[in-house]
Amino acid sequence: MAPMLSATDLHVRYGAIRAVRGVDLAVSEGEIVALLGANGAGKTSTLMALVGLVRPAQGEVRFGGEVISGRDTEDIVTRGMTLVPEGRHVFPSLTVAENLRLGAASRRDREAVVRTRAEILELFPILAERSGQAAGTLSGGQQQQLAIGRALMSAPRLLLLDEPSLGLAPQVVDDIFDLLVRLKQRGLTILIVEQDAVAALDIADRAYVMVNGAIAMQGPAAELRASEQVAHAYLGATMAETHA
Amino acid sequence: MAYFLAQSGNALSLGGIYALLALGLAVVYSILGLINFAHGALMTLAGYVLVFAAVLGLPFYLSAPLAILVVMASAVLLERIAFRPVRGASGATMLLTSFAVAVLLQLAFQLFISTRPQVVPLPDFLTATVDLGSFAIGVNRVISVVVAVVVLIALNLFLKRTVLGLAMRAAADDFNVTRLMGIRANRVIATAFALSGLLAAVAAVLWIAQRSSVDPMMGLVPVLKAFIATTLGGLGSLLGAVLGGLLLGAIEIYLAAYLPDAALPFHGAITLGVVILVLVVRPQGLVGASRELGK
Ligand SMILES: Nc1ncnc2c1ncn2[C@@H]1O[C@H](COP(=O)(O)OP(=O)(O)O)[C@@H](O)[C@H]1O
Ligand SMILES: [Mg+2]
């Protein structure tokens, strides 16, 4: 079966900077795939190109059999793929409820939206409690829950997450990763970018390692986890420290 | 006391108009980072629509909504033609573009209409006054205050209750992430310009109701004042725009009313002096949010 998402020879440039240089990757339905790599490796740029927030300089992205590279982000989201951006980016001056409402802006079926909303509030009870509060006043962990909840409001088939653990306390990170596993069990497909390689490899089925804009290694998560080579050559301190 | 109350009515009426204009600037600025100096030309355009509608024999209650619709459409068109090509460019580029558009429109009014003021016929009731016991106030002033309040409330509801309104506030926070919600960026921006057109046209109608004439430069001074008002309130903040507008209106009117005769020639300079004083104390403006909508 063809993968749900595939990128072929993907390139991203910012002027003279070549942030992504010929990335090939694929995500199949029901998988959690991790995209790992050090700071500046080009992970965020790859995700941005997948959802159309930056135009790939070269290459093709397919989602659900259709070519989506070159399409507007708005169209791509409506087709069922969305991104929880790095640094969360909830709308700080809007309330929690308003943030969630906007998450479903691409959907027409109101009853289905009400059901999704109920499910999300069940997953994140804190969002129900803080419903009327400005999102900017939430803690980092709560904002991350809101950012994920808001993305889920669009009822995606494929969820991209960019460093959901960034700046969060370890306990909160564990909760977020547990949640991702539960979402997978409910049938969601996930592509997650992480610097915390250990945590990501724990929940992922497969992983790619990015170095200098290109894929340097890939394979089943279990294999990469065992690989000393990964720890030393590609993931730098993150993994070495946790192993120590 | 009666004199003070009458002047307060004037202050509210002028401040209300400034608030509407400042809001129009703030709505666009908060989303695009563009200070639209062509806003004044939109005001002037509303005036000329009133003139032409009167020539065609349309009554005021039809010509006023017509002016509003024409100006809203023109604002959206202006965005398509002039501002979309420079979207995302530097602030200076956008500022120059809006200057160019403002100058072009003003020249067009001078060339194709007239450099001289045109009379706008007003219905009689607008020039009447209401007697409030100890003092009297012009009907046009009262309407001005009422309309400004109604528009402000309606705008607030739109921004709080509708998905498009929420999307506009979201876009002011973070434009790219708004697109991630599946909301068309172009639609949000077109709405912002339509709203700013609406606000400019309503302000123009209220302005003209107190002057009954239009000339090619009509919008220039009030929009300059509105710009001062947005700065006073906190550039990009809606609440700031409203407060800044009201405060500026109050400063102008009370100074004109209570300055000794000898100081009256310096009225404008003293007004700006007070504004600068406020900004020295609060450089971020009264509210102080930059590029934030709906607070
Ligand atoms: N908007 C941008 N303009 C210019 N350079 C950028 C931009 N975004 C990222 N870069 C550069 O591209 C490279 C890859 O960045 P990024 O995709 O953010 O990597 P990662 O997410 O893996 O840390 C870095 O060298 C970064 O400095
Ligand atoms: Mg990144």
- Cα Rg of chain A, angstroms: 17
| Atom number of ligand 1 nearest to Cα A46 | 17
A45 pocket-lining for ligand 1 (C-beta < 6 Å): yes
Closest alpha carbon to A71 in A57, A51, A45: A51
3-state secondary structure at position A178: helix
Q: Which amino acid is at B149?
A: V
Contact between residue B16 and residue B245 where contact means Cβ atoms under 8 Å apart: yes
Least confident of A67-71, A77-81, B202-206, B285-289: B285-289
pLDDT value at position B295?
Answer: 41
- Chain A, 55-114: which have a CB under 8 Å from a chain B CB? 72-74, 77-78, 82-83, 85, 89, 91-94, 98, 101-103, 105-107
| Atom number of ligand 1 nearest to Cα A12 | 12
pLDDT value at position A12?
Answer: 97
pLDDT tier, B91 (very low <50, low <70, confident <90, very high otherwise): confident
More confident residue, A184 or B265: A184
More confident residue, A220 or B87: A220
More confident residue, B261 or A158: A158
pLDDT value at position A49?
Answer: 97
Distance CA A113, CA A153 (A): 7
Question: From ligand 2's centre to the CA of A187, what distance in Å?
Answer: 26
pLDDT value at position A113?
Answer: 96
**Cα distances (angstroms) measured from residue A175 to each of A124, A154, A186, A199:** 11, 22, 17, 11
pLDDT tens readout for residues B131-175: 888 888 888 888 988 998 999 899 999 999 999 999 999 988 888
Distance CA B288, CA B269 (A): 24
The ipTM, to two decimals, is 0.89
Which residues, 6 or more positions from B195, have their beta carbon under 8 angstroms from its beta carbon?
B24, B27, B155, B168
**Average pLDDT in the A161-178 region?**
92
pLDDT tens readout for residues A12-53: 999 999 999 999 999 999 999 999 998 999 999 999 999 999
CATH superfamily of A1-80+157-172+186-244: P-loop containing nucleotide triphosphate hydrolases (3.40.50.300)
Distance CA B36, CA B38 (A): 5
Distance CA B25, CA B102 (A): 14
Instruction: Indicate if the pLDDT at residue A244 is higher than 50.
Output: no
pLDDT value at position A83?
Answer: 97
**What is the H or E stretch that residue A22 is in?**
strand A17-27
pLDDT value at position A232?
Answer: 62
**What is the H or E stretch that residue B76 is in?**
helix B60-78
Q: What's the CA angle centered on B99, arms B96 and B102, to 5 degrees?
A: 155
A17 pocket-lining for ligand 1 (C-beta < 6 Å): yes
pLDDT tens readout for residues A195-240: 888 889 999 999 999 999 999 999 999 988 888 666 665 555 444 4
Cross-chain Cβ contact B185/A74 below 8 Å:
yes
Long-range Cβ contacts of B158-165 (<8 Å, 24+ apart):
B159/B238, B159/B293, B159/B294, B160/B294, B163/A101, B163/A102, B163/A105, B164/B188, B164/B191, B165/B294
pLDDT tens readout for residues B28-86: 998 888 889 999 999 999 999 999 999 999 999 999 999 999 999 999 999 999 999 98
pLDDT value at position B236?
Answer: 76
Residue B217 region by backbone torsions, left for phi larger than 0, else alpha for psi between -120 and 50, else beta = alpha
A41 pocket-lining for ligand 1 (C-beta < 6 Å): yes
Q: Which amino acid is at B295?
A: K
String of DSSP letters for B203-225 = HHHHHHTTT-EE-TTTTHHHHHH
Strands A17-27 and A5-14: antiparallel
pLDDT value at position A51?
Answer: 97
pLDDT value at position B82?
Answer: 92
What is the pTM assigned to this prediction?
0.86
Q: Where are the domains of chain B?
A: 2-219
pLDDT value at position A227?
Answer: 80
pLDDT tens readout for residues B250-267: 999 999 999 998 888 888
Distance CA B242, CA B186 (A): 26
Question: From ligand 2's centre to the CA of A46, what distance in Å?
Answer: 9
Beta carbons within 10 angstroms of residue A204's beta carbon? 27
**Average pLDDT in the B227-233 region?**
92
Instruction: Indicate the Cα dihedral angle A112, A116, A121, A124, nearest 10°.
Output: 180
Q: Where are the domains of chain A?
A: 1-80+157-172+186-244, 89-155
Instruction: Indicate if the pLDDT at residue A122 is higher than 70.
Output: yes
